[in-house]
């Protein structure tokens, strides 16, 4: 392993640690903590570093930036506290911009050299992990996502400025793994972390980076996430949990006794807890594709 320090800002002494294992192609970049409040992703990246330290790649190279947004992580919040920008809307960044733009610029330099990018995020403590990909636009993104053993692949909305979106537009296969966990308490889902680590190591075996049997997973592709918003505010009582398969019109829960139904057939990627719902989403559903 070799380690490099990328200096972001000398005044606040912010820097990133890039750890690289192996050499040659393919080159994989794994990033965690682009959103500071998404601790499961950082945890998975750190576990991956441990794993690769013990068993480095036999072919090709893996670079890991476990923590891409250290000051946001220190606050367990999404945005960098020094400029309040969302780093995952700031790519490709600027070398002479505010801290988030410099972070994006430094990460972009590493991303440009990659053949594959796996960006680790969280979909909330009430979410069920999924792979997020531009699978409808880019065949290479679809193929890459299909190599992940996380069973659900969701179509991204494609908002520009995200690391994986900008990379795909440059022709580099890139995905997000959205993992259960995250939030101001720094919650980590150990179960989601195990699932994500197995998916990443499984991909490494399929790509020849690690030895061992390379089973091809068969995840299912879904459309863009749709919020489920009750027609009036009130007390939401869920009737199922994230990961549930839904038929169109199936009840997800009730708000003050009125059923809240899924607008489409698909899978619930998030179902909120019993709580007072103020006309915001109480669940997210990824539609089944025809
Ligand atoms: Zn995120």
For residue 287, report the distance from its CA to the centre of ligand 1, in Å: 21
CA distance 162 to 242: 25
For residue 211, report the distance from its CA to the centre of ligand 1, in Å: 31
Vertex 95, ends 106 and 79: CA angle to 5°? 65
For residue 109, report the distance from its CA to the centre of ligand 1, in Å: 20
For residue 10, report the distance from its CA to the centre of ligand 1, in Å: 26
The reported pLDDT for the residue numbered 12 is 75
**What is the CATH number assigned to the segment(s) 225-287?**
2.40.50.100
For residue 289, report the distance from its CA to the centre of ligand 1, in Å: 24
Phi, psi of 267 (to 5 degrees): -130, 140
Strand partners, 9: 14
Among 31, 24, 23, 4, smallest CA distance to 15 is for 4
CA distance 97 to 150: 36
Domain ranges of the chain: 2-220, 225-287
Among 117, 126, 128, smallest CA distance to 203 is for 117
For residue 176, report the distance from its CA to the centre of ligand 1, in Å: 9
CATH topology of domain 2-220: Aminopeptidase (3.40.630)
Among 8, 9, 31, smallest CA distance to 18 is for 31
The reported pLDDT for the residue numbered 235 is 97
For residue 43, report the distance from its CA to the centre of ligand 1, in Å: 14
For residue 82, report the distance from its CA to the centre of ligand 1, in Å: 18
The label of the residue with tokens 């945005």 reads 79
Alpha helix segments (H runs only) across the chain: 39-54, 70-74, 99-112, 139-146, 163-169, 190-206
Strand partners, 190: none
The reported pLDDT for the residue numbered 203 is 98
For residue 234, report the distance from its CA to the centre of ligand 1, in Å: 28
For residue 38, report the distance from its CA to the centre of ligand 1, in Å: 6
For residue 259, report the distance from its CA to the centre of ligand 1, in Å: 30
Q: 3-class DSSP state for residue 19?
A: strand
Residue ranges of the chain with pLDDT lower than 70?
none
For residue 171, report the distance from its CA to the centre of ligand 1, in Å: 22
CA distance 39 to 46: 11
For residue 140, report the distance from its CA to the centre of ligand 1, in Å: 22
Contact at 8 Å (CB) between 250 and 261? yes
**Burial (Cβ within 10 Å: 0-12, 13-18, ≥19) of residue 115:** middle
Contact at 8 Å (CB) between 31 and 119? yes
For residue 162, report the distance from its CA to the centre of ligand 1, in Å: 10
* pTM for the full predicted model: 0.96
For residue 34, report the distance from its CA to the centre of ligand 1, in Å: 7
For residue 267, report the distance from its CA to the centre of ligand 1, in Å: 20
For residue 121, report the distance from its CA to the centre of ligand 1, in Å: 4
Strand partners, 277: 234
Contact at 8 Å (CB) between 108 and 29? no
The reported pLDDT for the residue numbered 3 is 86
For residue 122, report the distance from its CA to the centre of ligand 1, in Å: 6
């Amino acid at each position: 392993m070799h380690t490099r320090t990328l200096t972001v800002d000398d005044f606040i002494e912010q820097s990133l640690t890039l750890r690289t294992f192996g050499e040659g192609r393919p080159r994989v970049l794994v990033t965690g903590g682009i959103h500071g409040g998404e601790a499961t992703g950082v945890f998975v990246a750190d576990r991956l570093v441990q794993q690769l330290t013990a068993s480095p790649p036999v072919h090709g190279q893996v670079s890991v930036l476990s923590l891409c947004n250290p000051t946001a992580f220190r606050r367990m919040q999404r945005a960098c506290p020094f400029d309040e920008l969302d780093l995952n809307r700031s790519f490709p960044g600027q070398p002479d911009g505010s801290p988030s733009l410099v972070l994006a610029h430094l990460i972009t330099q590493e991303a440009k050299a990659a053949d594959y990018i796996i960006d680790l995020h969280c979909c909330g403590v009430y979410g069920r992990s999924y792979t997020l990909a531009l699978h409808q636009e880019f065949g290479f993104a679809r193929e890459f996502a299909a190599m992940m053993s996380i069973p659900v692949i969701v179509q991204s909305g494609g908002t520009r400025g995200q690391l994986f979106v900008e990379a795909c537009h440059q022709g580099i296969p890139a995905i997000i793994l959205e993992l259960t966990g995250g939030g101001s308490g720094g919650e980590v889902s150990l179960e989601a972390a195990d699932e994500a680590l197995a998916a990443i190591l499984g991909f490494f075996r399929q790509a020849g980076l690690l030895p061992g049997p390379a089973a091809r997973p068969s995840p299912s592709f879904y459309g863009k996430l749709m919020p489920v918003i009750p027609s009036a505010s009130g007390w939401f009582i869920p009737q199922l949990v994230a990961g549930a398969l839904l038929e169109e019109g199936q009840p997800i829960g009730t708000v003050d006794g009125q059923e809240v139904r899924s607008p489409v057939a698909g899978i619930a990627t998030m179902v909120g807890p019993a709580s007072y719902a103020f006309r915001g989403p109480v669940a997210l559903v990824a539609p089944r594709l025809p």
